[in-house]
Structure 1
Amino acid sequence: MTTDDIATRVPVALKERAAALDAADPLAGYRSAFVESDDVIAYLDGNSLGRPLKATRDNLARFVDGPWGDRLIRSWDEGWMDAPTELGDLIGRVVLGAGPGQTVVADSTTVMLYKLIRAAVDARPGRDEIVIDTDNFPTDRFVVEGVAAERGLTIRWITPDPSAGVTVEQVRAVTGPRTALVVLSHIAYRSGYMADLPAITAAAHEAGALMLWDLCHSAGAVELALDEHEVDLAVGCTYKYLNGGPGAPAFAYVARRLHDRLRQPIQGWMGAGDPFAMGERYEPADGIRRFISGTPPIVGMLPMRDMLALIEEAGMPAIRAKSVQLTGFAIEAADDLLAPLGVRLASPRAADERGGHVTFDHPDFKRVTARLWTRGVIPDFRPPCGLRVGLSPLSTSFSEVALGLTMVAEALAEERA
């Protein structure tokens, strides 16, 4: 069955509303820049893996023939050595609200979290507690548990409302003179709740603690101002809204004021002051480069450059505005299509509390998601019963959302029959 055939099953009012929003969308032209799949009818998982760009396909081929195939090892001297910090500065400028020399691209999100968490608690001698929430992404919680075990620290757990997130009042209730570090996700990976980054950062600082934000669901979806809000540390992945591709390296932000106070724990040759001196002992590089460990993943850095160019051209304010419209439209459509089937909204209705995705709960959604995937409708499932709809503003149309949620309703009705 074709997309056109299925589109006839979308309720008329919803179809017309989606068409009107698409016609008025100033970012609609960007959709043609992305590679599309013939067997995907509605891609509702842009917050897990962004679509590739057509430009990336061409640029990867040019990279193989040029810098890699022709220049070979000379390319290290001709740009590759500076790629982690040069690309970090680009991410900082385009999506993080961060000045140069504070962001680096290097390892996976997990490794970057470990580096910064371990460095942060070691920089707070005499403080023996880390604060994190029970609903944070498993990697964040697991890394905190590991570092706490290594350093003999106590974890202070916050238990947030699962359909909302951590509040500044909850942070204040568990922080104090023993707190070394607070680790939170800016946008909750299940509910999409957007925490009050400025207020929570200030609350951590009032307690004398450092603040680390996980920006995996924020970078490229919402506007950020890390410098302005005096954020200490941040980590984020690049394969979601930055479209870096599967396994693309993560970024780390370390405020300039902390560079000389933090010693990262994975001391590799690329983070040394003079990597090619082959010195007898480790001496860290100046600035953000000291947070690099091994050889930079050059190939993995290529695709996100193409997406960052699009984001810079479109502008984060416009991208955020469309994101708010997309998620709001998804909620409206779900109210009509899914609520009568017993589906509950598990994300904030208020736009200023919501990131780039929304989650709907129903006990049958695990089976429904598997059924939808076979039909070319791709949301994702998050336990215990959440169907998560991630909407990447530059590649997603309102009509695609209407079509996808119509098919969610059909699959759920079949499951209940």
Structure 2
Amino acid sequence: MTDFQATRARFRIPDGVIYLDGNSLGPLPVAAEERVARTLTAEWGGQLIRGWNSAGWMVQPRVVGDRIARLIGAPAGSVVVGDTLSIKVYQALAAALAMRPDRSVILSDSGNFPTDLYMAEGLIETLGRGHVLKAVAPEEVEAAIGEDVAVLMLTEVDYRTGRLHDMAALTAKAHAAGVVTVWDLAHSAGALPVDLAGSGADFAVGCTYKYLNGGPGAPAFIYVAPRHARSARPALSGWMGHEAPFAFDPSYRPGEGVERMRVGTPPVIALAALDAALDVWDGVDMADVRRTSIALCDLFIELVEAQCPALELASPRDGTRRGSQVSFRHPHGYAIMQALIDRGVIGDFRAPDILRFGFTPLYIGEAEVRGAVAVLKQVLDGGLWDRPDYHRKAAVT
């Protein structure tokens, strides 16, 4: 059994704060402070440019990738880290489309995170080959899979509601129709068990600053199924994805396997923080995380519906059909969330009307759930949210 009391001690959370926003930005792992300091002083400061070899900076993307692979059901050597999630979406989608040159439809759902859809639109325009993006309601995805579809591109857990797609079933249906799959694990990795290899997924991408606690702007990862690793076409042929970067050849030759999906120079300091953050997972069983997460979310829903009837549940009620978050609707959701944050309960808001709360057993327990609902009830019962400053939208919501 995972010792969640021990994992809680490995995070720095301010006193008096109930942090229910790890689904947007994970808190600071204590180990990351020392690790980043060492990278700055002993490695960069002491070794200077020699650190690329002596401190292992050059191999960080695949070393850290292997650590993430364990958490998403991927074999060693199939995940590489670097760049941003938008870039990784672009790479995966471009490679997937190249595998089906005779088809034109990219199938997604209307609940997908906007950047995934934006990247698809931009790629379609760049290619200029008549591709179309078709976004249907989440519950209509399975029926929309057909032989005109080139790529099924989905985010496993809906960022607004937490709705969970059945990766194995949809991947099987896609493959039966000759469709290549791209899965976005931004709200899955570190939140619930993922089995990329077992489900047969072709490509997957994800960020590391949410449930993996890599820090703001932490680099993203990309997975390429081993069966595709030597043939996947890297649309962004950066020098780090070259077979021999320091040969400085005038023409591009793709690197071996998933290494070809590297693009730019590794963000060494960010990767050091992420690597330290992943230490927390060494003693954690994802089945324990999932079971506890569902219990915490169920308790939160029960208490909110009993004590805060003005809020409407936006997430699936069945815990097996949602990720590690719970969302409620209210016409003044933004102001309510600001009032909560002002009182030490930190969640976030997603337009147009969703209050979003993330539950991470690594540092959240039943006491935090009950405490958060008590504050929420005070805010609603007392109309404490209805202040002009709480209605004023900040740049980040």
Does TM-score exceed 0.5, indicating one fold? yes
1:55 and 1:128 map into 2 onto residues whose CA distance is: 47
Aligned match of 1:398: 366
**Counterpart residue number, 1:241:** 211
Q: Which residue of 1 aligns with 2:12?
A: 35
1:18 aligned residue? none
Give the structure 2 partner of residue 283 of structure 1.
253
Q: Distance in 1 between matches of 2:176 and 2:252?
A: 35
Q: Tell me the alpha carbon deviations over residues 389-409 of structure 1, each in whole angstroms, 9 at most, x when there is no partner.
A: 111210112211211121112
Q: Deviations over 1:234-266 (max 9, x none)?
A: 111000110000000000001011122221111
- Greater Cα shift, 73-82 or 354-363: 73-82
Residue in 1 aligned with 2:110?
134
Partner Cα distance (2:291, 2:42) in 1: 39
- The aligned counterpart of 2:181 is 211
* Residue identity opposite 2:98 in structure 1: D
Equivalent residue for 2:28, pick from 49, 52, 55? 52
**Number of residue equivalences:** 382
Q: In 1, distance between residues paired with 2:275 and 2:364?
A: 20
Q: Classify the secondary structure of the residue corresponding to 1:289.
A: helix
CA contact (8 A) 2:91 2:234 kept: yes
Gap regions ≥5 residues in structure 2: 387-397
Corresponding residue for residue 106 of structure 1? 82
Consecutive unaligned residues of structure 1, counting only runs of 5 or more, are 1-23, 160-165
- The equivalent residue for 2:302 is 332
Task: Map Cα deviations across residues 56-99 of structure 1 (whole Å, 9 max, x no partner).
Answer: 11121122121211122112113111111111111102x11111
Aligned counterpart in structure 1 of residue 342 of structure 2, from 335, 351, 374: 374
213-222 or 27-36, which deviates more: 27-36
Name which of 262, 266, 271 aligns with 1:292.
262
Hey, what does 1:148 align to over in structure 2? 124
State the TM-score, normalizing by the size of structure 1. 0.88
Mapped contact 1:364–1:412 kept (Cα < 8 A): no
CA distance in 2 between partners of 1:288 and 1:50 (Å): 27
Question: Which deviates the most, 107-116 or 143-152?
Answer: 143-152
Give the stretch that moved more between structures: 274-283 or 253-262: 253-262
1:108-161 per-position Cα deviation (integer Å, ceiling 9, x unaligned): 1111101111121122111111001111111111111112222320122212xx
Aligned-pair CA distance for 1:338: 1.3
Counting only pairs closer than 5 Å after superposition, residues 14-33 of structure 1 correspond to structure 2 as 26-33=3-10
Aligned to 2:60: 83
- Alignment-derived partner of residue 343 in structure 1: 311
Whole-angstrom distance in 1 between the partners of 2:330 and 2:278? 36
Query: What is the aligned-residue RMSD (CA, Å)?
Result: 1.6
Structure 1 residue 26, shift from structure 2 partner: 4.0
Shift of 1:25: 8.6
Contact between 1:249 and 1:301, CA under 8 Å: does it hold in 2? yes
Residue of structure 1 equivalent to 2:201:
231
Task: Indicate if the aligned counterparts of 1:41 and 1:404 stay in contact, CA closer than 8 A.
Answer: no
Matched, 1:189 2:159: yes
CA 1:120–1:25 in 2, change beyond 3 Å: closer, same or farther? Answer: closer
SS of the residue aligned with 1:370?
helix
CA distance, structure 1, for counterparts of residue 347 and residue 18 of structure 2: 8
In 1, distance between residues paired with 2:185 and 2:164? 11
